[in-house]
C-alpha cells in the first residue's frame, strides 16, 4: 500500500510538474461539485493511479483533481472508497498517503451523515469534533510502515481544534449555521436500526455515517492535520417517519453542497498565513 502511494504520488508529480498540493480534500456522496470549482484543474482518473479502486457508489466520481481553491494548492479526491464496497481497509492507506507524499500537510474530509439530534435537521452542516469508530476493521492493521508513523498512534485531538475554530469563525462570517458533534462510524451498507441509533445516542454520538473514520485514522497516523464536516442528510433511523434511502442522501447533500463549498473555500482563503 505504501509502495503504491509513492508510485501514485510520482504519477501526480509527473502529470503536474512543479505543482505541490498543500491541502487534500475528500468529497463525500453528492458533494463532488466542489471539485468542479477548482481553478487550473488537472484531473487524473483513479484508473491511472496504482492502488486506487474505481468507486462503485452513485455520487462518487473517481477522479483526483489538482488545482487551486481559495488560493491554496489542493489535491481533491472526488469520490472515496467505503469499506462496505468490499475493499481491504488498507486501500484507504494508499489514498491518504498518496496525498501526504504528494505534499499535503492538511486533510479536509466531507461526508453525508444521519443526524442523531432532532434539533439538527436534514440539510444542516456539522463539524466533527471527534469520532467513535465502530467499524469492525481498521486501515492501520497489518505491518506498520514506520516512515509514515508509529505502530500505536494517538487519536486525541484528531479533529484539529484550531481548524474547528477557524471553520466556526468563517461560518459566522458567512451567516452559515454550523453545528458541531461526535460522529460514529459504522461499516454499513444498511442504514442502522432504530435500536442501534438509540444505543449510539447513549454512547455520546451526534451523527452517524459509513466513512470518514478510516481516512482520518490514516491521516493522523502520518501527522496530517485534519478537519471534517458532515452534511446531515436525514434524521437517523427511528427519529422520523421518513424511509431512509440513498436518493434522500443525494438530494439533501445537493441542497447543502453550496453552503459547504462556500465554507471550505472561505476556510482555505488565507489559510497558509493563519495556520
- Give the active site residues: 29, 60, 82, 84-85, 112, 210-211, 234, 246
Of the pair 31, 102, the CB lying nearest ligand HPA is at: 31
Residues between 210 and 229 that touch ligand HPA (CB under 6 A): 210
Q: Which residue is nearest to ligand HPA (CB)?
A: 114
Which residue in the set 64, 236, 260, 271 belongs to the binding site for ligand HPA (CB under 6 A)? 236
Backbone φ, ψ for residue 46 (5° rounding):
-55, -30
Give, for 143, the enclosing helix (H) or strand (E): none
Which residue in the set 114, 139, 149, 214 belongs to the binding site for ligand HPA (CB under 6 A)? 114
Q: Does 260 bind ligand HPA (CB under 6 A)?
A: no
Q: Does 181 bind ligand HPA (CB under 6 A)?
A: no
Least separation in angstroms between CB 31 and ligand HPA: 11
Q: Does 244 bind ligand HPA (CB under 6 A)?
A: yes
Contact 114, 208 (CB under 8 A): yes
Q: Does 113 bind ligand HPA (CB under 6 A)?
A: yes
Q: Does 24 bind ligand HPA (CB under 6 A)?
A: no
Q: Count how many residues are written for the chain.
A: 275
Backbone φ, ψ for residue 28 (5° rounding):
-90, -170
Contact 179, 128 (CB under 8 A): no
Q: Does 233 bind ligand HPA (CB under 6 A)?
A: yes
Q: Does 124 bind ligand HPA (CB under 6 A)?
A: no
Cβ neighbours of residue 253 closer than 8 Å, sequence gap 6 or more? 28, 29, 30, 31, 59, 112, 231, 233
Least separation in angstroms between CB 234 and ligand HPA: 5
DSSP codes of every residue in 87-113 = --TTHHHHHHHHHHHHT--EEEEEEEE
Of the pair 66, 185, the CB lying nearest ligand HPA is at: 185
Residue whose entry in the numeric block shows the C-alpha cell 462510524: 185
Least separation in angstroms between CB 101 and ligand HPA: 30
d(CA 215, CA 82): 10
Which residue in the set 209, 215, 228, 261 belongs to the binding site for ligand HPA (CB under 6 A)? 209
Least separation in angstroms between CB 199 and ligand HPA: 14
d(CA 55, CA 161): 31
Of the pair 148, 252, the CB lying nearest ligand HPA is at: 252
d(CA 67, CA 73): 6
Give, for 250, the enclosing helix (H) or strand (E): helix 246-268
Q: Does 110 bind ligand HPA (CB under 6 A)?
A: no
Of the pair 106, 233, the CB lying nearest ligand HPA is at: 233
d(CA 50, CA 235): 38
Residues between 152 and 171 that touch ligand HPA (CB under 6 A): none
Q: Which residues bind ligand HPA (CB under 6 A)?
A: 112-114, 191-192, 208-210, 233-234, 236, 244, 249
Amino acid at each position: 500500500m505504501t509502495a503504491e502511494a509513492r508510485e501514485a504520488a510520482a504519477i501526480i508529480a509527473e502529470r503536474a510538474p512543479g505543482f505541490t498540493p498543500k491541502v487534500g480534500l475528500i468529497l463525500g456522496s453528492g458533494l463532488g461539485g466542489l471539485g468542479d470549482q477548482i481553478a487550473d484543474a488537472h484531473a487524473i482518473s483513479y484508473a491511472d493511479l496504482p492502488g486506487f479502486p474505481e468507486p462503485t457508489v452513485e455520487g462518487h466520481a473517481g477522479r483526483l483533481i489538482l488545482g487551486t481553491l481559495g488560493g491554496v494548492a489542493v489535491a481533491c479526491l472526488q469520490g472515496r472508497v467505503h469499506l462496505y464496497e468490499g475493499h481491504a481497509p488498507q486501500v484507504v492507506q494508499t489514498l491518504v498517503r498518496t496525498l501526504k507524499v504528494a505534499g499535503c500537510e492538511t486533510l479536509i474530509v466531507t461526508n453525508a451523515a444521519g443526524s442523531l439530534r432532532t434539533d439538527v435537521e436534514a440539510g444542516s452542516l456539522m463539524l466533527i469534533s471527534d469520532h467513535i469508530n465502530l467499524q469492525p476493521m481498521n486501515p492501520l492493521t497489518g505491518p506498520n510502515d514506520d516512515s509514515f508513523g508509529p505502530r500505536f498512534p494517538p487519536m486525541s485531538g484528531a479533529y484539529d481544534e484550531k481548524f474547528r475554530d477557524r471553520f466556526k469563525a468563517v461560518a459566522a462570517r458567512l451567516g452559515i449555521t454550523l453545528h458541531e458533534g461526535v460522529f460514529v462510524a459504522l461499516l454499513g451498507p444498511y442504514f442502522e436500526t432504530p435500536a442501534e441509533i438509540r444505543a449510539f445516542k447513549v454512547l455520546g454520538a451526534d451523527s452517524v455515517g459509513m466513512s470518514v473514520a478510516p481516512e482520518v485514522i490514516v491521516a493522523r497516523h502520518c501527522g496530517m492535520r485534519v478537519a471534517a464536516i458532515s452534511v446531515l442528510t436525514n434524521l437517523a433511523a427511528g427519529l422520523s417517519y421518513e424511509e431512509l434511502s440513498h436518493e434522500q442522501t443525494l438530494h439533501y447533500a445537493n441542497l447543502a453542497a453550496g453552503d459547504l463549498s462556500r465554507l471550505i473555500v472561505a476556510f482555505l482563503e488565507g489559510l497558509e498565513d493563519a495556520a
